[in-house]
Amino acid sequence: MRKSPMSTYTNFTVETDADGIALVTWDMPGKSTNVFTEAVMDELNAIVDAVVADGAVKGAVITSGKSSFSGGADLSMIKSMFSLYQQEKAANPDGAAQKLFDLVGRMTGLFRKIETSGKPWVSAINGTCMGGAFEMSLACHGRIASNAKSVKIALPEVKVGIFPGAGGTQRVSRLADAQSALQMMTTGQSLTAARARAMNLVHQVVEPDQLIPAAKQMIKDGLKPVAPWDEKGFKAPGGGIWTPAAAQLWPAAPAILRRETSGNYPAALAILKCVYEGLQVPFDTGLKIEQRYFTEILQTNEAFSMIRSLFISMQELAKGARRPTGVAKTELKKVGVVGAGFMGASIAYVTAAAGIPVTLIDRDIEAATKGKSVGEGLVKDSIGKGRLTQDEGAALLSRITPSADYADLKDADLVIEAVFEDREVKKAVIEAVEAVLPDGAIFASNTSTLPITGLAKNSKRPADFIGVHFFSPVEKMMLTEVILGKETGDKALAVALDYVAAIKKTPVVVNDTRGFFVNRCVFRYIHEAYDMLIEGVPPVMIENAAKMAGMPVGPLSLNDEVAIDLSQKILKATVADLGEAAVDAKHMALINKMVDEFDRRGRKNGKGFYDYPAKPAKKSLWPELKTFYPQKKAEEVDVEVLKQRFLVTIALEAARTIEEGIVTDPREADVGSILGFGFAPYTGGVLSYIDGMGVKAFVALCDRLSAAYGAHFKPTALLKDMAAQGETFYGRFDPYAKEKEAA
């Protein structure tokens, strides 16, 4: 094998073997994964030119030097695209869209250049291959994927408010049948290598060690350097648009999409348009159609807000944006979890899954061992789904040690308490743990309702005491609230964030308050549904309006999941702590009736706002609910107003947490609201929802709703001030202010 003169690149190495095949290895220095940047595109463009110019090179194989192939576009490049557009719009409104159009066409043009270079290119996919990286692979003449479990192939752009805009909509729909293509792109689903092969998106699936030899062999075997759609007489799978099968698919597709998204996601609809229009024209015209729609979508509020929250902010928070500087990173060697109930057992499982040994403590060894069995069930499920091998599952479980002896925590770096929500029970645990916990170790309470500062009064070391609030089911929910007590120190925060990063969850840091951030917002959502029930809005309209507003589940269904008797306990505790006036008496009467009179506690006892029949029958709203209050006729209820009420009441509560200093970074409010309880993702989160419509318009909407539906809709002093000043949350509470000052 000889090094070719093409090998002087920063992000790629190029080696040409004796057969004249160039191996292009993408391996960005200092990054854990490859991403597309301006520099990467410049270098790839130069490599394509060099491959074409060198007569000794017969073709090229592109692969990754990292364990994954590539995650797609770099967030800084996406960010710069938005800022460039905003600057251009301010300076030259007429030319701004054209500038954006030219900008988004760059990647499309580069990939088309590979495709029409006249020499064969093969993409050798060795790991995760997402977004623009898979669009590049689709532009190669051959695609080979490793059969390793780590291989995930996807075009997930719709999840962040955009769509595959570098040829993805045109190539996938010309390789796979239209229905599968639409399903893949409108959901952003991940494909295994085998599924991608079945969809005709990759040509071969091989053992990992055969990946490069097989890719080179494709070229040796005479791989034609022409894409199928550039051949004369090409027809899309299934015959394209004007066929009997297409006549069944296309009228239904927009209706199905509307059913799934309520029209809230412009990018998903743009995918349908790109495929439908693109399949009727030559390929290059199809690319131009896609480029126009992509330019249009990038100018939407949904795309801007979703990319900011679900792509940029989420990565920044996961990488420790709120971690105190100057505190050394903690490599956790052992974690203790006290309380082996379902929550504690699940926390132990995710800790062990992150490779950290964990001691699971309960009152006796039987209870602790029963807690470990939760992990055993999760491991069995993962093995059954092919996510873990038998050996990996056994290794994970070996890291969970059940115990009834607090002395086993004497060498723990972090102990998480996950016992019953009772101050006295937690006090006893805090004292027992601190009796053995080494100096410098951190104590974390997993509490959903009790303020951390109050619990820390039971601690002899409040600086090392912090809240780490998990959401159920722990193994699936990606958010963790990290709660600072009044005396919590920087080291405790740093360790908590290091732990959350280790278990691969996204943290939001909040100051101490009743219900913290997420539960305060969640209960506003649920309480608005109580108001609607009391007004006589039919329960089914309440649930459907919430889903149409973009919420993943209706508020009554959500209340059943969290338990109606828990709502009762929280209302009673609020009255006990703050007095009768702190709770709506009608809410209390409704919940007391559900729990005390009808014993309807939610899903856990098989009856709540919904009935839960034996499977396979589906749950349905409890018919008797309609008899509680005089019912309005459907035509008397404005669904648009119901949707507004749900989103506004949650966003208002989030604004209150900012005003009270509970949440200090708007990124955390937005990401926390989406990951914590699924707040309408297309808005970008609670504060982006307000910023998106403009604070002035939001205040006016609050005024209208408060006049009609109650004082809880009144805008706060902060919102009124921001409206008068023409401010936004991301302007007034700029999360990058310190960085800008430093620069």
CATH label, 335-514, candidates 3.30.830.10, 3.40.50.2300, 3.40.50.720, 3.40.309.10: 3.40.50.720
Between 505 and 573, residue with greater pLDDT: 505
The confidence score (pLDDT) of residue 253 equals 92
CATH label, 519-732, candidates 1.10.1040.10, 1.10.1040.50, 3.30.43.10, 2.60.120.380: 1.10.1040.50
**Residue percentage of the chain with pLDDT more than 70:** 98
Give residue-wise pLDDT tens across range 512-557.
Answer: 877 788 888 999 999 999 999 999 999 999 999 999 999 999 999 9
Q: At what angle do helices 639-659 and 695-709 cross, to 10 degrees?
A: 110
Give residue-wise pLDDT tens across range 32-70.
Answer: 899 999 999 999 999 999 999 999 999 999 999 999 999
Contact yes or no for 124/269 (Cβ under 8 A): no
Dihedral pair phi/psi, residue 439, rounded to 5°: -60, 140
The confidence score (pLDDT) of residue 353 equals 94
Closest CA to 520 of 473, 570, 586: 570
Catalytically active residues are 469
The confidence score (pLDDT) of residue 96 equals 82
104, with CB counted inside 10 A (0-12, 13-18, 19+), is buried
Query: In the predicted model, what is the mean pLDDT of residues 674-701?
Result: 96
Dihedral pair phi/psi, residue 483, rounded to 5°: -110, 125
Q: CA-to-CA distance for 172 and 278, rounded, in angstroms?
A: 11
Contact yes or no for 212/23 (Cβ under 8 A): yes
For 337, the enclosing helix (H) or strand (E) is strand 335-338
Query: In the predicted model, what is the mean pLDDT of residues 250-275?
Result: 93
Q: CA-to-CA distance for 399 and 357, rounded, in angstroms?
A: 5
What three-state secondary structure class fits 99? Answer: helix
* 251 Rama sector, left if φ>0, alpha if ψ -120 to 50, beta otherwise: alpha
Kindly tell me if the per-residue pLDDT of 261 is higher than 80: yes
Look at the block and give the residue holding tokens 């601690």: 459
Domain ranges of the chain: 2-299, 335-514, 519-732
Predicted TM-score of the model (pTM): 0.89
Closest CA to 660 of 721, 724, 712, 718: 718
Cβ neighbours of residue 738 closer than 8 Å, sequence gap 6 or more: none
Dihedral pair phi/psi, residue 223, rounded to 5°: -55, 125
Query: In the predicted model, what is the mean pLDDT of residues 347-361?
Result: 95
Q: CA-to-CA distance for 323 and 498, rounded, in angstroms?
A: 8
The structure tokens listed for 215 are 């890719």
Cβ neighbours of residue 378 closer than 8 Å, sequence gap 6 or more: 346, 349, 475
Give residue-wise pLDDT tens across range 311-350.
Answer: 889 888 888 888 888 888 989 999 999 999 889 999 999 9
Q: Which CATH class is domain 2-299?
A: alpha beta
Q: CA-to-CA distance for 554 and 623, rounded, in angstroms?
A: 16
Q: CA-to-CA distance for 84 and 699, rounded, in angstroms?
A: 30
- Which of these ranges, 401-410, 577-586, 718-727, 733-742, has the smallest mean pLDDT? 733-742
Query: In the predicted model, what is the mean pLDDT of residues 294-304?
Result: 91
Contact yes or no for 663/519 (Cβ under 8 A): no
Q: According to DSSP H, which parts of 140-205 are helical?
A: 168-175, 178-187, 193-198
Highest mean pLDDT among 13-27, 87-101, 559-573: 13-27
Closest CA to 69 of 20, 113, 109, 33: 33
2: DSSP letter: E
Between 704 and 743, residue with greater pLDDT: 704
Q: Between the CA of residue 186 and those of 138, 253, 303, 488, 715, what are the distances in Å? A: 18, 11, 15, 44, 37
Query: In the predicted model, what is the mean pLDDT of residues 106-119?
Result: 96
Contact yes or no for 416/337 (Cβ under 8 A): yes
Q: Between the CA of residue 275 and those of 116, 169, 181, 236, 257, what are the distances in Å? A: 22, 6, 9, 11, 14
- pLDDT, averaged across the chain: 92
Closest CA to 29 of 68, 72, 65, 79: 65
Kindly tell me if the per-residue pLDDT of 1 is higher than 70: no
What single-letter amino acid sits at 284?
D
The confidence score (pLDDT) of residue 2 equals 47
The confidence score (pLDDT) of residue 514 equals 74
Kindly tell me if the per-residue pLDDT of 7 is higher than 70: no
Q: CA-to-CA distance for 574 and 381, rounded, in angstroms?
A: 40
Domains 2-299 and 335-514 share a fold: no
**Residue percentage of the chain with pLDDT more than 90:** 73
Contact yes or no for 235/174 (Cβ under 8 A): no
Query: In the predicted model, what is the mean pLDDT of residues 690-703?
Result: 97
Look at the block and give the residue holding tokens 């996950």: 418
Model confidence at 73, in pLDDT bands (50, 70, 90)? confident
